[in-house]
A and B are shown apart, each in its own frame.
Chain A
Amino acid sequence: MSLLELKHIYKIYGELHALDDVSLKVEKGEWVSIMGPSGSGKSTMMNIIGCMDKPSKGEVLLDGVDIAKESAKNLTAIRRDKIGLIFQQFHLVNYLTAVENVMLAQYYHSLPDEKEALEALDRVGLADRANHLPSQLSGGEQQRVCVARALINYPEIILADEPTGNLDEANEEIVVDLFHKLHDEGTTLIVVTHDPEVAEVAQRTLVLRNGRLHKEIVNQNFTGKIHFEDMESFRKEEKGNA
């Protein structure tokens, strides 16, 4: 059984089909990128997988449970227990320190454990910045706190929405390296991005266009940062479209 399975998903706003009969499967421990231009349905799909929205039609099976039929209260619980979220804008609570931001996720999940939160910050290389407020951290550091917060409760899936969208190249590399580490540890990663360089390091890239699954690119030789043929062709295609 796949960890996540979307079966004929539609999301319809009036006349607009934000998602139009999308089906996909994500296996446990897999690293999948979702790409596509603006308005392609990436964010809608992210919200549905992240239990922050429900499809108009179709099934979303997470660990065998159809989350499309769950109540808002249950979706909150599923989000808390099974999903780690990473945002483009980091979204840290500005009056809590780095370690307190990580503990916040523990607080809602089970019990806050400062030692464990510090270890999570250590994993992302921020042990020495634990007691800094977000305003005292750089963008890259804030994103790493966000990663530590996402992984603190050992979620089934880490769902990252444009995780490098606000980062410079050096920090982008640090975050992508972190994803490699997480993947090596067996974490399932779904990364929504419009950056081919971030997408191409995943095992599989799903390309959305006009709410439909346009293309699926499998990195046959996935070992790390590989520029594979399909991605190169995708880039050319994107350039052509632009």
Chain B
Amino acid sequence: MKKSQMYMRMIFASLMRRRSRMLVALLSIAIGATILSGLVTVYYDVPRQMGAQFRNYGANLILTGTDGGFSLEDTEKALKVFAKDELVGAAPFRYENIRIHEHPVVAAGTDMEGAKATSPFWRVEGDWCSTDGQIMVGKNVAESFRLKAGEMLTLSFTPENAPKDTPDETIDLEITGILDTGGSEEDYVYLSLHDLETLTGAGDLDVCEVSVSAQSDQLKVYADQIGVTVPAISAHLVKRVTASETTVLSKLQALVLLVTVVVLALTMICVATTMTAVVTERRKEIGLRKAIGASDKSIIGEFLGESMMLGGIGGILGAALGFVFAQQVSVHVFGSSIRFQWLLVPVTILVSIVVTGLSSLLPIRSATEVDPALVLKGE
């Protein structure tokens, strides 16, 4: 039999036949690995999670025409640069001056689903528009014209440069909701791009609000890419939003990192204490091994092998349980599920092995200093 075979046989025998003792050590390692793996998962997922949360505060990228307006086709091309899972929504806007009861009002044609995604903070009394033929009216407009949800509203439009006596274009739309944002949106009416085109004829978009779940560095990369891919469009970061997002994120990540480091230190102390207890109760065995000719190096190798094996098993458990832990944190704190980080599995196992090995080294080294004659005499 090779020495290595006997070495493995001894380690497995120790782990399997001293199960109750080893379970205590394994539990301490697995708990440490679980918390570490969970916190690191949260640490890496915080930007994504918080990015999604931040998107409730509105668009963080604005597309405008390089030279005046731009087309819907150009917008669609520009939106292709974003990773699918990062693009929360995009709302193209075309503004036209129309009239309600002969009073001028700004009408915004948009994609309602996109607007819902980029401006989730908009409060609508009634319903959002779901099809063509419907309109949402800003609160101020509604008050000025005493409009209510469910009523029909006629918009009229006089084309520029139209000959005199040309009749106004009109369109009748159903009011589905009154828009309450606390901002300038309350002065506008919102309808679909198609209805606006029916009323005013074809025209370019003025702006497109884009909500992307990415940090400012990545947003800058996207903005540059759009500039190259679609020269007609120029992308701008909403600095007020992106800068505050970056600040909050970096502080939150620093906090999670700090907690992770503290937990790592506590885990090492806990594992070292457990391993000290495990090694101390085996002083007699170490004494015996020395008495029958084991060198210190050999004893350290055997005990270290055992503890690293425990570290490995604890790491595997920790990687799995850490994901469950992170998932629970994510669901309860951020209200959404977390992504499984495959890379974290080998990293957790490796860290667990190294931490357990290092924590065990000191008690093992001190245990090899035992005097076999004294230990075997029971002193």
Contacts and interface: CB of A to CB of B under 8 A. Distances in A.
B17 interface: yes
A100 B293 contact: no
Contacts of A81: 293
A89 B295 contact: no
Interface string B358-379: 0000000000000111001110
Contacts of A76: 290, 293-295
B123 interface: no
Contacts of B373: 43, 47, 50, 52-53
B293 A95 contact: no
Nearest to A79: B293
Interface in B285-342: 285, 288-295, 298
Interface in A83-132: 85, 87, 89, 91, 93-97, 100, 103-105, 107-109, 111-114
Contacts of B295: 73, 76, 108
A212 interface: no
A133 interface: yes
Contacts of B9: 100
B298 A108 contact: yes
Interface string B17-40: 110000000000000000000000
B2 interface: yes
Interface residues of A, number: 33
Contact of B293 (A80, A87, A91): A80
Contacts, number: 75
B294 A89 contact: no
B17 A52 contact: no
A97 B288 CA distance: 16
B292 A104 contact: yes
B72 interface: no
B377 A43 contact: yes
A24 interface: no
A133 B285 CA distance: 15
B293 A89 contact: no
Contacts of A103: 1, 6
Given A47-B373, A87-B376, A91-B376, A79 B6 contact: no
A77 B293 contact: yes
Nearest to B375: A91
Which one of A52, A76, A93, A95 has the highest number of Cβ atoms from chain B below 10 Å of its Cβ?
Answer: A95
Contacts of B103: none
27 contacts: A43-B373, A43-B377, A47-B373, A50-B373, A52-B291, A52-B371, A53-B373, A76-B293, A77-B293, A79-B292, A80-B294, A91-B288, A94-B285, A96-B10, A96-B13, A100-B13, A103-B1, A104-B10, A104-B289, A104-B292, A108-B292, A108-B295, A108-B298, A111-B1, A112-B3, A114-B1, A133-B17
User: Closest 10 A-B residue pairs measured CB to CB?
Assistant: A80-B293, A95-B17, A52-B373, A112-B6, A108-B293, A47-B373, A112-B1, A91-B288, A107-B6, A108-B294
Given A100-B10, A105-B293, 6 more contacts: A73-B295, A96-B10, A104-B10, A107-B6, A107-B7, A108-B289
Interface of B: 1-3, 5-7, 9-10, 13-14, 17-18, 284-285, 288-295, 298, 371-373, 376-378
